């Protein structure tokens, strides 16, 4: 259990085995999520990383088929 997010609520954080591995689409990741940097938002030919754990807090873009979608921040 870890305290996460702005409210510092307790959450069971589960790491994914391939977390941090390079990806170009969520289908390449155990979590189903390939994440990119906020700066990559809207760009094509992007390589992201597989989501590290089930914790969804932070700022990132979702990378699908090598394209970074709009950035989002979750706190």
Which tens digits make up the pLDDT trace of 5-51? 888 889 899 999 999 999 999 999 999 999 999 999 999 999 999 99
Query: What global pTM score does this model have?
Result: 0.86
Domain boundaries, the chain: 2-74
Q: Do you know the residue count of the chain? A: 75
For 73, the token pair is 């921040």
Other Cβ atoms less than 10 A from the Cβ of 36: the count is 24
* The pLDDT of residue 6: 84
Strands, DSSP E only, in the chain? Answer: 2-4, 9-11, 22-23, 34-36, 48-50, 58-64, 67-68, 72-74
How far is residue 72 CA from its own chain's centroid?
10
Which tens digits make up the pLDDT trace of 51-70? 999 988 899 999 999 999 99
């Amino acid at each position: 259990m870890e305290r996460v997010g702005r409210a510092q609520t307790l959450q069971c954080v589960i790491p994914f085995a391939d977390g941090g591995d390079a990806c170009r689409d969520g289908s390449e990741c155990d979590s189903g999520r390939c994440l990119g940097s906020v700066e990559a938002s809207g760009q094509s030919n992007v390589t992201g990383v597989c989501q590290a754990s089930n914790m969804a807090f932070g700022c990132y873009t979702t990378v699908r088929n090598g394209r970074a979608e709009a950035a989002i921040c979750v706190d």
